[in-house]
Structure 1
Amino acid sequence: MRSFLVTARTAALATALTAMVAIAPASASTSTSAPVSASGARELPAVTARAETPALHDDEAGGNADADDPAIWRNAADPGRSLVIATAKEGGLRVYDLDARPVQSIPAPPPAAPDDAPGRFNNVDLVNGLRLPSGRADLAVTTDRGHDRLRVYRIERSRSGGPLTDITDPAAPAVFSANQDEINDQRTAYGLATWTDRATGRSYALVSRRERTSVALLELTPTTGGKVTYRKIRTLDLPDSFRLPNGTSWTPCAEPGALPQVEGMVVDPASGMLYAGQEDVGIWRMRADLTGAPKLVDTVREYGVPATYDEPSDECVPGADPGFGGTRLAADVEGLTLLTEPDGDGYVLASSQGDNTFAVYDRELADHNEYEAGFRVTASSAALDGSEECDGAAVLNAPLGRKYPNGLLVVQDGHDTPADADRDTTGFKFVDLGHVMSAIDD
């Protein structure tokens, strides 16, 4: 989610952090950046969307639906009938076909009581082949921020009534909160990445906490009745303040009481590494089992910039930029997704929300996740715009029938146009992955 934080958009890459944090080798941070235009914007290659979902409106008339995070499910039996499953916050879940047409709409759960927080689906990811009493099944897992829980849906493409069926165990516990009062404070389950350990076959969800630096590891477990629940294995807290090269300490500006949160996350199953976007800090790499020391792969340009929270404007007013930040990411760091290639190579893609671009990093640890390229998703016509202030992204490098034989990239658009009067309008854009790969390779 695009934060209210406003900070400067310039700086060079950070060279030091707190002593408690391990830093990625310098080669991860010294690639030549893209040219900068006279306006200060990076001159990156552009790709255009092939399709877009119907607009969502975050108001009462629109069901408080606000596009956030997508996932791509491949129908192995008929790739052309694959699906995009996406969150719409209080609007619940939306399911689309490859023409970006709605297939199913699932409402978020109601409040536990009239004065309690309503359901709010934040992020979504997939689990392939979880063993249930009835056999193996593909699942969509989402964070319900409103109730501080995960919700789990079985995917069956040809099921009457829609492909998703809720199989969440009613007794599934809150992820972070001890009681309903804490749930109503909404420091609850936020970002999400699923992961199946190749060594054990066990499946997990990594869940971040809103307005906190915590990431929790949950094991997904089926019940004898065919539902799915989870249990917490461990929690890791990322830093909330950082030692700068000039010896001063820096804490990202936020609303009073809030800490720099994580949202976008993805796990590389080949290496067992989790990549996590701490929105106002940068991209971390750590073991997906949350053991060992995290390493900061790259930082946002605003890293190290002092700022003061201004309550009347609900914004952070930046001070002078000391020049310790990165060159490729503009806060917030948002949607992270993994682009794998058949030869074992591939990339980690990150949404640089502050400048409407996407940053591409090598997934190989031997290359220290070196920055490779960047691109934008821009308008192809007056009726089909690009992506601005992107919250979530998903990529699948596999043939998806005649529509997307080269694979698919789906990105959230935080400002869908043409806008509808003063309504907040969002949606998702579908991009031919072949065009993205050409842009990366140029």
Structure 2
Amino acid sequence: MIRHRPVRSAALALGTAWVALAASVPAGTPAAAAPPHRVAPLPAVAPRAETAPLHDDEAGGNADADDPAIWRNAADPGRSLVIATAKEGGLRVYDLDARQVQSLPAPPAAGPGDAPGRFNNVDLLHGLRLASGRADVTVTTDRGHDRLRIHRITPGRPGGPLTDITDPAAPPVFSAGQEEINDQNTAYGLATWTDATTGRAYALVSRRNRTTLALLELVPTPAGTVTYRKVRTLDLPSSFRLPDGTAWTPCGEPGELPQVEGMVVDPANGMLYAGQEDVGIWRLRADLRSAPALVDRVREYGVPAAYDEETEECAAGADPGFGGSRLAADVEGLALLTEPGGDGYLLASSQGDDTFALYDREVGDANEYEGGFRVTAASAALDGSEACDGAAVLSAPLGAKYPHGLLVVQDGHDTPVDGERESTNFKFVPLDGVLDRVED
């Protein structure tokens, strides 16, 4: 999500960055800043395909591309699918040529004046136990109704592969009632996780405009639907003690706290990575039973700013140099790139400078930064990705089109623009091109 953030200082605008990595500091207590250095230009990769543009207006169905997930068809990898959220436009399903194969609307408003359904983030669960047997499903945060929506994936099904199996009695995730739901401090970011020890399936959900994370267990019903129960919650810090002894709180609209959206769980070790948009990337156990550790910070970390009600923007003060050098607020989509042998990367979208950062997956290596890249235009008709909200990556072969895997990224400023209408969409990038450039 693009939010109001402090204007960058002159030093940042000129490309000067500050190194201040904190792989294992206590929550809210960063290490001292290191001297500044110049950041080398990042390599560029190009997409092979893009989805049709979505328009967030009445004529376009109030559809806005946000977050993708990649489902691999094990029986026929070339017929795998990309499932993506379109906010009030619901869910979209695409084939590997980026052609739409299904569109599911978000649920309508509960009543007159109530918030309509709004699908924010999506993730997958493989082999979820249902009353009728095991199945692959999508899990989506419905920000408009403060609920999770679960869809079964059935390839080749007439009418489209997704079927809604959400239990009608599924409760709000955070809100006590409809009035609170309408305030829209609701279910937002999402990551799914299956506990390897118990086999139980979970969704980790963040709350919009708050720092709260909730662990929800998915529960099948005898009717063949799926509901969920809240196991526990955890609040990330909303203010931070800086190395100079001062306190800092990220700037935002009155009453808003620094929220989390991008999240992913590493199944190899059960660690959750959560992107607090104006702060950085946190690492903690997916069961929410450990103290969070800050893996990296955005460059704007620690920059004092004040919200201006007239401009609805944050006016920034002098940069004290406590931020990181790899990410520009907001830190957005997080995804896990797994390579043969279990190695791989944590991928993060650096929305503020249109780049992507890769970190080592190994916690013992302190999730060391390994490199970054940009997704740039392949041609005049096929542009790159700017202001990326969500990303998904799969390193398994996906037929002849993507034999080494696929990266899908949201493009927050799709071009060429259709008249005065802003548009968004998703870019499909061959994964071998990403790894070849980053590992050179």
Give the TM interval when normalised to the shorter protein. over 0.9
Residue number in structure 1 paired with 2:160: 162
Change (3 A) 1:400 1:311: same
1:216 & 1:362 partners in 2: Cα distance? 26
Q: Deviations over 1:230-280 (max 9, x none)?
A: 000000000000000000000000000000000000000101000000000
Change (3 A) 1:23 1:401: farther
1:312 matched to 2:310? The reply is yes
Would you say the 8 A contact 2:252–2:307 is kept in 1?
Answer: yes
2:25 & 2:67 partners in 1: Cα distance? 34
Match for 1:225 among 223, 244, 248?
A: 223
Q: Aligned residues: percent identity?
A: 75
Deviation at 1:22, TM superposition (A): 7.3
Q: Secondary structure at the match of 2:435?
A: helix
Q: Deviations over 1:282-315 (max 9, x none)?
A: 0000000000100000000000000010111111
Would you say the 8 A contact 2:192–2:265 is kept in 1?
Answer: yes
Change (3 A) 1:265 1:182: same
1:206 & 1:308 partners in 2: Cα distance? 32
1:211 & 1:24 partners in 2: Cα distance? 23
Change (3 A) 1:321 1:24: closer
Match for 2:71 among 70, 73, 79?
A: 73
Deviation at 1:366, TM superposition (A): 1.0
Match for 1:362 among 360, 363, 378?
A: 360
Matches within 5 A, 1:356-395: 356-395=354-393
Residue number in structure 2 paired with 1:39: none
Would you say the 8 A contact 1:71–1:84 is kept in 2?
Answer: yes
Residue number in structure 2 paired with 1:3: 3
Q: Secondary structure at the match of 2:219?
A: strand
Q: Which runs of 4+ in 1 moved over 4 A?
A: 15-20, 22-26, 29-33
1:140 & 1:32 partners in 2: Cα distance? 43
Would you say the 8 A contact 2:359–2:371 is kept in 1?
Answer: yes
Deviation at 1:30, TM superposition (A): 8.2
Letter in 2 for 1:12: W
2:157 & 2:43 partners in 1: Cα distance? 41
1:345 & 1:390 partners in 2: Cα distance? 25
Match for 1:425 among 414, 423, 426?
A: 423
Q: Secondary structure at the match of 2:218?
A: strand
Residue number in structure 2 paired with 1:296: 294
Residue number in structure 2 paired with 1:89: 87
1:102 matched to 2:100? The reply is yes
Change (3 A) 1:245 1:31: closer
Root-mean-square deviation (Å): 1.9
TM-score (norm: length of structure 1): 0.95
TM-score (norm: length of structure 2): 0.96
1:12 matched to 2:10? The reply is no
Residue number in structure 1 paired with 2:181: 183
Q: Deviations over 1:350-400 (max 9, x none)?
A: 000000000000000110000000000000100000000000000000000
Deviation at 1:439, TM superposition (A): 1.3
Change (3 A) 1:96 1:140: same
Q: What are the ranges of 5 or more consecutive residues in structure 2 without an aligned counterpart? A: none
Residue number in structure 2 paired with 1:328: 326
Letter in 2 for 1:288: A
Deviation at 1:14, TM superposition (A): 3.7
Would you say the 8 A contact 1:17–1:244 is kept in 2?
Answer: no
Pairs aligned (count): 434
Change (3 A) 1:17 1:395: closer
Deviation at 1:18, TM superposition (A): 12
Match for 1:119 among 104, 108, 117?
A: 117
Letter in 1 for 2:84: A
Match for 1:245 among 239, 243, 253?
A: 243
1:385 & 1:31 partners in 2: Cα distance? 36
Q: Secondary structure at the match of 2:336?
A: strand
1:15 & 1:85 partners in 2: Cα distance? 34
Deviation at 1:114, TM superposition (A): 1.4
Matches within 5 A, 1:402-417: 402-417=400-415
Q: Deviations over 1:305-355 (max 9, x none)?
A: 000101111110100000100001000000000001121111000000000
1:71 & 1:150 partners in 2: Cα distance? 16
Letter in 1 for 2:317: G
